[in-house]
Chains A and B, each alone.
Chain A
Amino acid sequence: MRIPCPYCGERDAHEFATLGDATLTRPDPAAADADAQFHDYVYLRDNPAGAHEEWWYHANGCRQWLRVARDTRTHAISGAVAARATEQASGEPA
């Protein structure tokens, strides 16, 4: 499996570490039901068979966390962007 790292180019997946689902958002720790929200955040997964957004860390490369779009049935990778790029982009007005 080869991941198109936006910094390093296409690299074999063994250079990376993976952390799974990238659609989760860390809940507000001050929320009244923070314990329930954190339970869902830490433990529950959609675990889809098909399109999956997931975190990959280029441990033996640029050390960037990448948001990778990959299909869990075929392992086909349709793209990868740096976490920081998307996080900042999502914070900006459209």
Chain B
Amino acid sequence: MRYSVFSLLANALNGQKGWVPAWREAAPKPAYDVIIVGGGGHGLATAYYLAKVHGIRNVAVLEKGVIGSGNAGRNTTIIRSNYLLPGNEPFYEWSMKLWEGLEQELNYNAMVSQRGILNLFHSDAQRDAYARRGNAMRLAGVDSALLDKAQVRAMYPFLDFDNARFPIQGGLLQARAGTARHDAVVWGYARAADRLGVDIVQNCEVTGFIREGDAIVGVETTRGPVRAGKVGVAVAGSSSRVAAMAGLRLPIESHVLQAFVSEGLKPLVDGVITFGAGHFYISQSDKGGLVFGGDIDGYNSYAQRGNLPVIEDVCEGGMALMPRIGRLRLLRHWGGIMDMSMDGSPIIDRTPVPGLYLNAGWCYGGFKATPASGWCFAHLLAKGAPHETAGAFRLDRFRTGHLIDEKGVGAQPNLH
């Protein structure tokens, strides 16, 4: 069924009787050309592009629970391509380009909303660092603008300009950045992949790998063995656990990142704002909730929940930036498990194990990467070589020293 005003009209008139499942409830077949482990945004996007771009349709996405129930459904929905380093920027810009056409591509309104991201700076050194970044973006053909204090005030007059501990001096704006409705991205890819023949198998946990010699030729699951020509793993948060089943240790630690939403409000914050003098960023969903977050808690965790010190720290940042939000209320907070890589950048690469491909290490930035991650992982799986925009995301870069360390904090995941 194609979604349109007409499908809504038809169902309005027939008592909503005509809707059909957005994707089939597939049971695993004995074998596929490609298995994608992990039914999050990245895994589903990979399956979609394998089918759409490369014509590989005998594909299964195996999901331990329900699709989109991991980080795809737990993030703060920001999309942007305002990266500094040449290893990152072209990839995230490719992702942004895919976002820009995503809804028409998928026939699903993922509410991709380009209302801009503004990174505030509070010192000359921060300004220069953002100028460096903004110029790097321009070199990569990406929009960026360095705003002064007056321009920031014109955009967001309610920020604390006059009584701040760290006064706002300006900001780096990427106008094409924004947000997207995270669940809709998952469902849109799932529905589109399903329509191309991909099997989306929920409640199917991978418990081991089937090997022939060194090579991996399939997976053991809670719903039986499934064989495959290639196995791609896209399980950020649990990458180390899955890789361990293949005998691999990864340059990754799992950390908890908390996220927050307020009660629903009339429009208050138009775009995305990040605070430069503390760990805080905020946007407002179309439904009206303020969606915000800050830094990771900093300790290894698989618990999907954090603790009060970071909750307080985030709200302190919020109040320092926007003192009018004091009487608004936190509605829910939760945690997601981040694949914190050792240089803060992701991995899309073959592994030393033949037949096993890895998509991992997204830190807290995986959501925005969803389309390009899927595109590039599909390219790798189909062609056996990295896509041109993801060529730096190699697993051996830690050995060779070709690191992609945006923050310059080194091999300490909890600082990225």
Contacts and interface: CB of A to CB of B under 8 A. Distances in A.
Nearest to B343: A43
B399 interface: yes
B413 A43 contact: no
A46 B249 contact: yes
Contact of A73 (B249, B250, B303): B303
A54 B298 CA distance: 12
Interface string B342-360: 1000000000000000000
B205 to A, nearest CB: 14
B19 to A, nearest CB: 39
Given A18-B298, A49-B254, A43 B303 contact: no
A63 interface: no
B302 interface: yes
Contacts of B307: 1, 13, 75
Contacts of B252: 45, 47
Contacts of B411: 42-43
A20 B342 CA distance: 12
B114 interface: no
Given A18-B414, A46-B240, A46-B249, 16 more contacts: A1-B299, A18-B299, A20-B413, A40-B249, A43-B411, A44-B251, A45-B250, A45-B251, A47-B253, A47-B300, A72-B254, A72-B301, A72-B303, A73-B303, A75-B299, A75-B303
B402 interface: no
Contacts of B303: 72-75
B158 interface: no
Nearest to B238: A49
B309 A14 contact: yes
Contacts of A13: 299, 307, 309
B29 interface: no
Given A43-B342, A44-B251, A73 B240 contact: no
B334 to A, nearest CB: 15
Interface string A9-44: 000111001111100000000000000100110111
Interface in B229-273: 238, 240-241, 244, 249-254
Nearest to B342: A43
What interface size band does chain B fall in? 20 to 34
Given A18-B414, A49-B254, A39 B309 contact: no
17 contacts: A1-B299, A12-B309, A13-B299, A13-B307, A20-B413, A39-B398, A40-B249, A43-B398, A44-B249, A44-B250, A45-B251, A45-B253, A47-B240, A47-B253, A49-B238, A49-B241, A75-B307
Interface of B: 238, 240-241, 244, 249-254, 298-303, 307, 309, 342, 398-399, 411-414
A55 to B, nearest CB: 11
A52 interface: yes
Contacts of B302: 49, 72-73
Nearest to B299: A18
A74 B307 CA distance: 12
B416 to A, nearest CB: 12
Contacts of B301: 72, 75
Contact of A54 (B241, B299, B412): B299
Contacts of A48: 240
A48 B254 CA distance: 9
B299 A45 contact: no
Contacts of B342: 42-43
Contacts of B250: 44-45, 47
A40 B415 CA distance: 19
Nearest 7 pairs of A and B residues by beta carbon: A14-B309, A47-B240, A43-B251, A43-B398, A44-B249, A49-B302, A43-B342
A6 B249 CA distance: 32
Contacts of A14: 309
B108 to A, nearest CB: 34
Contacts of B241: 47, 49
A36 B249 CA distance: 14
A19 B309 contact: no
A43 B342 CA distance: 6
A19 B254 CA distance: 13
B228 to A, nearest CB: 25
A79 to B, nearest CB: 16
Contact of A39 (B240, B298, B399): B399
A45 B300 CA distance: 11
Contacts of A52: 300
**Which residue, of B301, B307, B342, B412, has the highest number of chain A Cβ atoms within 10 A?**
B301
A39 B400 CA distance: 9
B398 A54 contact: no
Nearest to A1: B307
